[in-house]
A and B are shown apart, each in its own frame.
Chain A
Amino acid sequence: MSLTLSETLFWVIPELMLAIGGMALLIAGVFLGDKSARMISTASIGLLLAALLVVVALNGGPAEDLFGGAFRIDAFSSFMKMLIFGAAALAILMSDKYLVGEQLGRFEYPVLIVLAAFGMALMASANDLIALYMGVEAQSLALYILAAFNRDSRRSTEAGVKYFVLGALSSCLLLYGASLVYGFTGATQFNAIAAAVGDEANVGVVIGLVFLISGLAFKVSAAPFHMWTPDVYEGAPTPVTAFFAAAPKLAAMALFARALITPFSEIADDWRPIIAVLAVASMAVGAFSAIVQSNIKRLMAYSSIGHMGFALIGLAAGTERGVGSVLIYMTIYAIMTVGAFACILLMRRRGGMTEAIEDLAGLTKTSPGLALILTILLFSLAGVPPTIGFFGKLFVFQAAVEADLVWLAIVGAILSVVSAYYYLRIIWLMWFNEPAPPFEREVGSRLGLTALASAALVFPALLVLMGPLIAAARAAASSLF
């Protein structure tokens, strides 16, 4: 049954809101100038939250195929969009003070995040190779500019260029893979590809699939396609890094899951080992490379590489339970990351931000509240119970064990101990060492509240509410199968 145009447009209201709203804000900004930056930020947050509410309102019905099957609204896409829009809104909320402080308070910033969120929404819903590429590019172009947003800083510009060049390369891989898949199956729509592939893959499709996976692995920054991550994370302005670490990862992981499961689930045995290798490589790179970092943003970059590795364990399982665990993991990851970056943004002394891990020394004495919040978040990132970071790992390991990948669960468990070391290092700096000069006090600021809220979710709120989260993630995952 095909929908009329108005029915189709009804289902994409959130995306339309972001696209049209983003452009309207851009026009308004051009006319009002940089003085309006604050107003436009607020409007952008409002826009993202409104889109989030519409997604919530539209959620719950059966899956809808739009635009000839290129675009799919289902529980999975809705789940990811809620997270993405929430993370994007928080990213704008957290960046206000920093940007003003660094003389970067320009109106383009929130608009770019809105446009990136639009691209991510496309990625979450893309059910066709062309829609996939459009989503990825719509998102990436906004992200490249954001990385270079501090255009007078060499580091930031370098980050932007590096991200752009490597991003373009990965897009090439993605397109090359897509063209091979199209060439050998004659279809770009995922379900049509699935029908054409059948349960016996021919070599051309598999090669195309490998290129597709490589391109997508770049987007989620899975090793060995992670090289850009530390440099971009370090070079980009900190609020941009905070944004990069959460929302784009959610979108890319959503796309990764859908692009593998819907068209290629019949030939899962061909790609599951590849994903497993990516997972192990990412966890290992994340765990071992982070140990020697002295810059907290670089450390968070390696930490996010490691976390993507853990999430990919769930995808390597290739089962409904596995995708559900990826969703649980990504939700928890997003909460922890937003909180951790809120804390990093609070590392402010007279005269600017600090990024050295050493500056956190003795934080429990200088700002006990912040130290406690960061401790909870770090234990959660390390996956130590009773924080929810543990449950993220528990469920991906469970998915691996149920898919007979016990070895992957064991490797992941051991690497989680290695990665616990560098989180512990920060904790011991904060608790055991003599204090470094104190940070500026910001009681009750937006950042402080964001950090507090995420820490409260990490422990103990979600500990109690874990049941509903699991149910929602599982329901979302089941719509892919």
Chain B
Amino acid sequence: MGFWEVTLSLLDGLKYTCLIFALTLVLALPLGLVISFGSMSKFKPLAYVIKTFVWIIRGVPLMLQVIIFFYVPGFIFGTPILSRFASVIAAFVINYACYFSEIYRGGIESIPRGQYEAGQVLGMTKSQVFFKVVLMQVVKRILAPMSNEVITLVKDTALARVIMIVEVIQAAQNFAGYGLMWPLFYTAVFYLAFVGLLTLLFGFFEKKLDYYKI
């Protein structure tokens, strides 16, 4: 087994790592906003239901959630409903949406009332106040905690291997079967490169938003 052969194989696994990462972000970012609105709802029963839901999702290990999404529908309906990959995406999206929702909520609640009132007295509708006045300020406030979550997500993708998705670590693990251990350690390079790229990207966004202070 040569270096290039291993690298190509790990890159094959990286495809899944990237796919899980990207799909989770694209779906969980908006879903998190919806959940945060739910948990801030003035209609108390809804807020309680959502808060309980967030507690359960954040309280159970993500690895277990992946397993539950893949196996439990099978127990109930006799056949698996979701493919391996779809189960992973469903579990990741819901899990990350809950974490994001709490970050959003913190950001939204940190915007002073005066900003809402200034928009209101200028005759803006509630949605105009939120999207044109508040949202950009929230984005600035939550950028640092969000970058933390997003970086964690990169490494959480490795959990997909519990239901035999061949992402980077599982790809390396397959070599261990032939007695090759070094590919496993080699995967760290891929993660480091991935996270390094994201760190640069978030740094760029932070600089972009540097022109104003809240």
Our verdict on whether A and B bind, yes or no, reads no
